Amino acid sequence: MISLFNGMIPLVAIQMNALKFNDHVGLVFTKVLDQMTLGLVDEDEDAHETTDRSYWIKRGSEKTVAMCDELLDALKSLDPDLELKYNKFYIGLAKHGQACNFVVFRPKKNFLRLEPRLVKSSETQEQLEAAGLDVMDYDDRWGRYRIRLTPAELRQQKEIITQVLKQAFNGANT
């Protein structure tokens, strides 16, 4: 039963025993399970690993993390207070220390997965595909397009990618 929850909710199990002594009944409660682990930690992951730029260079590569810097420079033309925020599962954005994730970056070894938050539409899908971008499946849960970019594709498609980032920024600030 516990494995069905897949570590996604905290669990507490309490065992109750009734003890009879003459005409009185007493209850004894014993905590038999107190599991607060949320999510699963892979064997090769350290749950307390520091997530910073070097973490992402090791997980992705110097080239793909540099792509995040290049995209941040484009975003700074929209809002100069934006900065990269290094999280365990993605690189997000922050403004004055507060999360501002209208786009997230997931550096891999040979490519960067760019995930702008945009309303799903056939027009946007066609625009991205017509530009020759490698559009993966749309993430309905988070409302994000998932685009796989290599460094060469970023150089070639900088204009369309900047447009997409601007659309996501404007959608987050309306």
The string of pLDDT tens digits covering residues 90-120 is: 999 999 989 999 999 999 999 999 999 999 9
57 vs 4, higher pLDDT: 57
109 Cβ neighbours under 8 A, 6+ residues apart: 60, 61, 64
43 vs 32, higher pLDDT: 32
Residue range of the domain that includes 128: 53-172
Q: Mind giving me the DSSP string for 23-77?
A: TEEEEEEEEEEEE---S---TTS-TT---SHHHHHHHS-HHHHHHHHHHHHHHHT
Decide if 163 is inside a domain: yes
Question: Distance between CA atoms of 142 and 111, rounded to whole angstroms?
Answer: 21
> Do 114 and 72 meet the contact criterion of CB atoms below 8 Å apart?
no
The string of pLDDT tens digits covering residues 113-167 is: 999 999 999 999 999 999 999 999 999 999 999 999 999 999 999 999 999 999 9
Q: In terms of DSSP bridges, do strands 98-99 and 147-149 run parallel, antiparallel, or are they unpaired? A: unpaired
Decide if 59 is inside a domain: yes
Residue 43 confidence (pLDDT): 47
Q: Quick one: tokens of 138?
A: 């749309």
13 vs 127, higher pLDDT: 127
Q: What does the pLDDT average to over 22-26?
A: 91
Would the pLDDT of 173 be above 90?
no
Q: Indicate if 87 and 129 belong to the same structural domain.
A: yes
Within 10 Å of residue 3's Cβ, how many Cβ atoms? 6
The string of pLDDT tens digits covering residues 59-84 is: 999 999 999 999 999 999 999 999 99
Decide if 165 is inside a domain: yes
Would the pLDDT of 7 be above 90?
no
Q: What is the DSSP-derived secondary structure letter of residue 2? A: G
3-class secondary-structure state, position 165: helix
What residue has token string 């905290």? 10
3-class secondary-structure state, position 101: coil
Please state the domain count of the chain. Answer: 2
Residue 50 confidence (pLDDT): 79
Report the candidate in 155, 137, 156 with the shortest Cα–Cα distance to residue 147: 137
Write the CATH number for 66: 3.90.1150.200
Q: Indicate if 69 and 100 belong to the same structural domain.
A: yes
